[in-house]
Amino acid sequence: MSRFLVTGAGGMLGSVFCRQLKDKNEIYGIDIKPGFIEIDIAEKQVLWDFIKKTKPEVIVHTAAYTDVDGCELDPKKAHKINAIGTKNLAEACKDIGALMVYISTDYVFDGEKDKPYTEIDLSNPINVYGKSKLQGEEYVKNSCGRFLIIRSSGLFGKNGRNFVDTILKLAALKEDLKVVDDQRACPTYVDDLAKAVIKLVSLKKEGIYHVANSGVCSWYEFAEKILKISGIKKEVIPIKTDKSARAARRPKMSALCCDKYVEAAGKPMRHGREALKDYLKEIC
């Protein structure tokens, strides 16, 4: 049995980590939401006091400001949560000798590559969200003794806003849906991601790993899959990113090459299509 601290415990990914870890480990779940141990990761002294008191062996940091357009409109908030909050955790991890697992993002890349990104490709974020998460990565690498940085892509699951739920809601309201077809990613089910990360921790892996469900598709193609599997007959109209009127720029290619994970775990994660089927069964 190990002691884990999970930040963002009430969120889409954090709640899954808590659920998957609880049977065999001692879990402390913190969040700013009522019903959890209410700690703001940006409040350094309160956070440090709690960590020194509980002495977790592993801190899984899922808490983040993930509203990409919101980050663009409020960069100070993005920096406070995604960068400074991460720095506070990283320094505390070093102080107590804990492993820090930091959930990062495919948006640390600019999207100009014509194939999936590897861990050694140059980071060059093109929006505030990506920049704040990359700053978090730098704090983890420079302030934390032991770390595991996980970059993933297009997360979907319960307890949080995600593309799958958005498409289903829009399909119930509109005759047709307009979705960008020039952004490509690896949509990833949070249940699969958490399981894969826990596997890496059990294997005592450290460093940077790309972890995502197999398969690359555009958001237009993913929207079509969502509706087809759900049995919803609505037209999906492909549009270009410059017609989507979003506050933040998005990388055109943010798919991730997960060969390093495959080598460590012994097999790839299942295809995103199969993960999507399980998620839709869960919510429909």
Q: Is 129 a known active-site residue?
A: yes
Rounded Cα gap, residues 38 and 60, in angstroms: 16
State how far the Cα of 214 lies from the Cα of 101, in Å rounded to an integer. 22
Q: How far is CA 171 from the centre of its chain?
A: 25
Instruction: Quickly list DSSP for 51-103.
Output: HHHH--SEEEE------HHHHHH-HHHHIIIIIIHHHHHHHHHHHHT-EEEEE
Closest CA to 248 of 170, 133, 160, 169: 133
Report the alpha-carbon angle 6-8-11, nearest 5. Answer: 120
Instruction: Report residue 42 CA to chain centroid gap.
Output: 19
Of 117, 129, 139, 220, which is the active-site residue?
Answer: 129
Positions annotated as catalytic residues are 129
